[in-house]
Amino acid sequence: MKSFYARFYPYIKDYYFFFFCAICASALNAGCTASATYLVKPVLDKIFTEKDAAMLLLLPALFVATYFGKSVGAYAQNFFVNYIGLDIVRKIREDVLAHMLRLDLEFFNKMRKGELIARITNDIGLVRAAVSNYFADFMRESLTIIGLLCVVIYQNPRLAFYSLVVLPLAVLPILIIIRHLKRISRKTQEKNSDITAKISEVFNNTEIIKANNGEQIELEHYKRENHHFFKLGIKATLIGGLNGPIMETLGAIAIGVVIFVGGSEVIAGNMTTGEFGSFTTALFMLYTPIKRVIGIITSFQDALVGGERIGQILDLRPSIIDGNTILQAPLQELSINNVHLHYDEVAALNGVSLAVKRNEIVALVGRSGSGKSSLVNMILRLYDPSSGEITINGTNIKHFTQKSLRDHITIVTQRIFIFHDTIAANVAYGQAIDEARVIESLKKAQAWEFVEACENGIYTMLDEFGANLSGGQRQRIAIARAIYRDCDVIIFDEATSALDIHTEEAVRESIDTIKKDKIIILIAHRPSTISLASRVYCLDNGIITDITTPQGFLARDEIRHNA
Ligand SMILES: Nc1ncnc2c1ncn2[C@@H]1O[C@H](COP(=O)(O)OP(=O)(O)OP(=O)(O)O)[C@@H](O)[C@H]1O
């Protein structure tokens, strides 16, 4: 619990004033609750025993006033507590996402997306209760307990001792329950992540699931996970629910003892009926906040586990460390020097060297899995070389800030990213929309024809993942995005693979026209695209096996095909 509050203290400390208000509201609530029980004594003694008519008006009015105060306190506390909770959750969510986005691509490749969604939504939601509701509820109930204890002890210390002596008996069973609940809570939250991950997988692959009649398999899988989740919930209910009966039983024993001892004192004339009535009312009311405090401690286990799971993410540090030099244009030369790259045990690149100058286009060719994408990913510092270095204008790219580096490099990948936004916003992604430039980029990417035909032109909304576009249209939007960014280095990673021959020919011509003052790297298979390059690097098994001209490469490729 200490480490939980240590981690989330930076968020909590901004709300001292609100906590102060919540505590004042709790104190009002608790004070009025205790006063109401105290009023039982004059009601019984003054009205019913002494028949004091003046009290007949005053005491009911005081009752109404104390309950009004109690309600105002409860309402204000509810507001302040929820304000703190909602605002803290907002900040934690923003910080966790910002932190995640600073982590390496490797982190996103290894973690399931649903797991990340569960942590940022469900786990943070659980923390909310602990940083606001539980804390304030704990304060309120504790203050109520203190207030009622004062009434009980003031009324009759001896009777108070008999009625409270049973409480320590509850400690051991409650501790056992808490330990079990924490274990179940961890499993529940892991299972919740599994379920969210499964749903995210299903929604991202509906096309393939339907095409392969996979609906039943997916549903069965989901049902299994869901049933497991249900069983954990039931287990938590069965164990967590034991708190109530334990406290009720101990409470009943305490009340029995009080009736026996207190009743004897009333019969013996050592205590008035009013004192006894007030004492037992306070005692009855005392058990409710005690039960609630125990309930808060048990529910807190969920928050502790949620906090731990968020902490695991917040403790991760990116292995790609930012440089502090701003990369300045113009970029004259990009050089890859004896670079090796290992993904855990897999060696993807084994001593690759390559150099490309401004106004040059080079092509990278090789079989699937030869390491082409890995190489270009390192230029963007999505991965760092295991050894060797990549330099721009003679400086190792590790010295540049990642932002300035990526401001000068753009990539069109095989996986096209289309956001649920307008075509214009998709083309200008990350920058302000300049309509003329958007249209110009679309024209160069051979996309203008189909965009112009859309009812809303460049303001046509695109579905998530570009579901309302063809594969080739998606690719052309991505090419337009790269052209719009007008970076010094443009990397086309199989960017024209989904285009028909004629469109590819037109895009090829566009690439030829934008090459001035640029460094262009093409990963390509089609001879027509490869022929744009001044040099071709042949990659095989993570090694450059040949550096040749497009003509040399194509002639050799033809011989290989004819052999
Ligand atoms: N994130 C990763 N984690 C582990 N191994 C990876 C990762 N990315 C790629 N690899 C492995 O590295 C090797 C090179 O992959 P890479 O994607 O660079 O090849 P490629 O030439 O671009 O292939 P393709 O033409 O099919 O896209 C392959 O053996 C691949 O399995």
ipTM of the complex: 0.95
Residue 366 beta carbon below 6 angstroms from any ligand 1 atom: yes
Ligand 1 centre from 12 Cα, in Å? 44
Pocket test for ligand 1, best of 343, 383, 496, 544 (most atoms within 8 A of CB): 343
Ligand 1 centre from 101 Cα, in Å? 22
* Vertex 37: Cα angle to 31 and 42 (nearest 5): 120
Task: Extract the tokens encoding 480.
Answer: 């337009």
539, 470 contact by CB (below 8 A): no
Query: Residue type for 356, please?
Result: V
Backbone φ and ψ for 165, nearest 5 degrees, come out as: -65, -20
Ligand 1 centre from 369 Cα, in Å? 5
Nearest CA to ligand 1 atom 4: 343
Ligand 1 centre from 364 Cα, in Å? 14
How would you write 462-519 as a 3-class SS string?
A: CCHHHCCCCHHHHHHHHHHHHHHHCCCEEEEECCCCCCCHHHHHHHHHHHHHHCCCCE
| Residue 559: per-residue pLDDT | 57
18, 83 contact by CB (below 8 A): yes
Ligand 1 centre from 110 Cα, in Å? 14
| Residue 8: per-residue pLDDT | 83
| β partners of residue 342 | 347
Give the nearest ligand 1 atom to 383 CA. Answer: 1
Nearest CA to ligand 1 atom 7: 343
Backbone φ and ψ for 388, nearest 5 degrees, come out as: 85, 180
| Residue 122: per-residue pLDDT | 87
Nearest CA to ligand 1 atom 31: 369
Map residue 143 onto helix, strand or coil.
helix
Distance CA 81, CA 18 (A): 8
| Residue 99: per-residue pLDDT | 94
Domain 333-562: state its class. alpha beta
Ligand 1 centre from 410 Cα, in Å? 20
Nearest CA to ligand 1 atom 6: 343
371, 539 contact by CB (below 8 A): yes
Identify the CATH number of the domain defined by range 2-314: 1.20.1560.10
Residue 346 beta carbon below 6 angstroms from any ligand 1 atom: yes
Residue 381 beta carbon below 6 angstroms from any ligand 1 atom: no
Burial 26-64 (b: 16+ CB within 10 A, else e): bbbbbbbbbbbbbbbbbbbbbbeeeeeeebeeebeebee
Contacts of 41 (CB under 8 A, 6+ apart): 155, 274, 275, 277, 278
Residue 372 beta carbon below 6 angstroms from any ligand 1 atom: yes
Backbone φ and ψ for 262, nearest 5 degrees, come out as: -65, -40
Per-residue pLDDT of the chain (563 residues; tens, 9 = 90+): 677 778 888 888 888 898 889 889 988 988 888 888 888 888 888 888 888 888 888 888 888 999 999 999 989 988 988 888 889 889 999 999 999 999 998 899 888 888 899 888 888 888 887 777 777 778 778 888 888 888 888 878 888 888 887 777 778 888 898 889 889 999 998 999 899 888 888 888 887 888 788 899 899 999 999 999 999 999 999 998 888 888 888 888 888 888 888 888 889 888 888 888 888 888 888 878 888 888 888 888 888 898 999 999 999 999 899 999 999 888 999 999 999 999 888 889 999 999 999 999 999 999 888 999 999 999 999 999 999 999 999 999 999 999 999 999 999 887 788 888 899 999 999 888 999 999 999 998 888 988 999 888 999 998 877 777 887 888 889 889 999 998 999 999 887 776 777 777 777 777 877 888 899 999 988 888 888 899 999 999 999 998 988 888 887 766 565 55
Pocket test for ligand 1, best of 109, 339, 346 (most atoms within 8 A of CB): 346
Residue 430 beta carbon below 6 angstroms from any ligand 1 atom: no
| Residue 406: per-residue pLDDT | 92
Task: Kindly list the strands in the beta sheet with 535-540, ordered across the sheet, starting from the edge strand earlier in the chain.
Answer: 409-412, 489-493, 519-523, 360-366, 535-540, 543-548
538, 379 contact by CB (below 8 A): no
Residue 368 beta carbon below 6 angstroms from any ligand 1 atom: yes
Residue 370 beta carbon below 6 angstroms from any ligand 1 atom: yes
Residue 382 beta carbon below 6 angstroms from any ligand 1 atom: no
Q: Where are the alpha helices (DSSP H) in 51-112?
A: 55-102, 105-110
Residue 216 beta carbon below 6 angstroms from any ligand 1 atom: no
Tokens 């007008």 -> residue: 486
174, 240 contact by CB (below 8 A): no
Residue 374 beta carbon below 6 angstroms from any ligand 1 atom: yes
372, 364 contact by CB (below 8 A): yes
Domain boundaries, the chain: 2-314, 333-562
Map residue 126 onto helix, strand or coil.
helix
| Residue 163: per-residue pLDDT | 80
Residue 289 beta carbon below 6 angstroms from any ligand 1 atom: no
| Residue 469: per-residue pLDDT | 80
| Residue 508: per-residue pLDDT | 79
| β partners of residue 547 | 537
Distance CA 280, CA 282 (A): 5
Pocket test for ligand 1, best of 370, 386, 416, 539 (most atoms within 8 A of CB): 370
CA-wise closest residue to 514 among 539, 495, 498, 499: 495
Question: Exposed, middle or buried, 166 (CB in 10 Å: 0-12/13-18/19+)?
Answer: middle
